[in-house]
Each structure stands twice: as structure tokens, then as C-alpha cells.
Amino acid sequence: MNADGRLAQYLRARREQLRPADVGLAVDEGVRRVVGLRREEVAVLAGISTAYYLRLEQGRDGNPSGQVLDALARALRLDPAATAHLHGLAGLREAPVVVDPDDVVHESTRWLIDLWPVTSAVVHNRYMDVLASNAMARALNPNYRPGVNSVLSLFTHPSEQVFHVEWEGLAARSVALLHTMADTRAGDTRLAELVAEGTASSALFRQFWARRDVWVSGHGTHELRHPVVGDLVLGYQRLPLIGTDGQSLFLYFAEPGTPSAAAMRLLAGDGTGGDVGQAGRVSPAGTPTDRPEHTRQV
């Protein structure tokens, strides 16, 4: 069975997310007893035999060609990120996961984010744990502090549902981001523990996880509702930190000249963010003098 059945599980989950009407099939929904599309319907849409598709979904054939995968992606209406994920699952080979147990943020990165007074900057590790943040980030959202997991906090902190105007969509995408990592980092016990904690703490997390959506975050716009300065429309960027084991820099920023820019300047100067540099300091030797807590705050 390919990659512990992840290819088969992904195909089944994506099939169950589609309705016949989504792919142009006219059927009487009232007499259907299956969730989503039938296997034979996917096979017809992809131009392959039902028997072959059945073997794929049962994990008995783990080496489909690129042409077959592209046909399945079209049949299942996968977007480019999900299509790339499908190809990755089909070619996945088990390998030891190299984990950096320290996840030390480079001192120069800390200096950099502290130099941005009106740009919120957060350093995450590959599990979306906050490793460091600047004063603007903590003024914008107190959960942007070291030791908090940014995915779990969406489900365990009621304030997040108020802060993020489109909270449910963000929560779903965040779980999809974890799924993308989980399907390509087999054997990562820390990731497995994180998923287990999410599924145990939130029914909605379990629902999103079962959908097996995948997502790769990049850039866009978020609408936020801050308790001090009110509604904000901020751009965001997630930038990988080269030379680390999956660390990334997440930025929130306002378009110059907008009410949101004025609100961010007000927030930066109202004293709620604490002193610049509270993210935790690193000695010249590169060893943290106050390490982030690894227990997530709930």
C-alpha cells in the first residue's frame, strides 16, 4: 500500500467532497446512498476503468502514472496546490524525518522584526508554533506570543473567532496547512501529537481534518476586528526563512494612507504591545537566554 495508504485516503476524501452536480452529472439525489461521487463516476470522468480506480482507492496500486493523476485531478476538481499534493502522495517514499529539537530563531531575524514598529511580524516553526514576535504583533493579537500554536489557538481561544472576521475559512485553511505537512512528513511524532490535540479539543477541527483539504499559504488580505482600534483590513505575507527546518515569517501590514494604516500607528503607540524585544533574546553564541514555552496556552 503506497505511503501507508495516504494516496488512497486522499482520493476517497476528495471524492466524498464532490456532488454529482459539481461535475455536471444530472442524477436524482433522493435515491443516492453514497456520500459524494460514486467510484464509477470518478472513473468515467477520469477516463480510466472502475476496477483500476477501485485498486487505487483501496491502496492496492500505489504507482499511477502522471497522466492518470492529472486525469484524476481534473475529475475531482482539484486546484493546482491539491494536484501537486496528489502527485507528491503518489511518489512519496518513506524517509527519516530530521527534526531540529531547538528551533532557535536567528538573532538577526529577531533584530529585523523588532525594527518594524507598525508591521506585525511573527516567526513560526513548521508546526505553526510561535517562536518569536515583535511588539506590534503582540499588540495586534496577544496570542502571537512564543509558546502558542497558531492553529490550535484558532479553535481553543474564543477571542480568535471575534478577531478574525472570516474565522471559519481561516480555521479550515489552517487545518489544511497541517494536513499538507502531515501527508509529506510521515513519522513526525510532534506533528502527530499536534493533530491528536486538535482532534481531541474541537469537533470542528475533526470535521476539517476529515476533509483532507490541503493548502499552502502565501499572501492575501484579512479582515480583522481589534478590541482597541476596531476594524482593520490588512495584507499578509508568509515568507520561508531559508536555512531553517521549516521556519517562516508571517507579516500583517496595512496599505499606506488607509484608515487601517492610521489604526496600526495608533496601536503601535498605545502601549499595549509591551517593550520591543520581548520575543526572547539570544546570546551572541546563539543560545536563547529565555526559551519560548512549548506548552500551548489554552
Q: What is the pLDDT of residues 188-220, one digit of tens each?
A: 888 889 999 999 999 999 999 998 888 877 889
What is the reported pTM? 0.68
Pairing status of strand 130-133 against strand 219-226: unpaired
User: What is the per-residue pLDDT for 233?
Assistant: 98
User: What is the per-residue pLDDT for 144?
Assistant: 97
**Looking at the predicted structure, is the pLDDT value of residue 271 above 70?**
no
* Pairwise CA distance, residues 199 & 122, whole Å: 25
Among 97-101, 102-106, 284-288, name the most confident range: 102-106
- Check residues 88 and 134 and name the one with the higher pLDDT: 134
User: What is the per-residue pLDDT for 32?
Assistant: 65
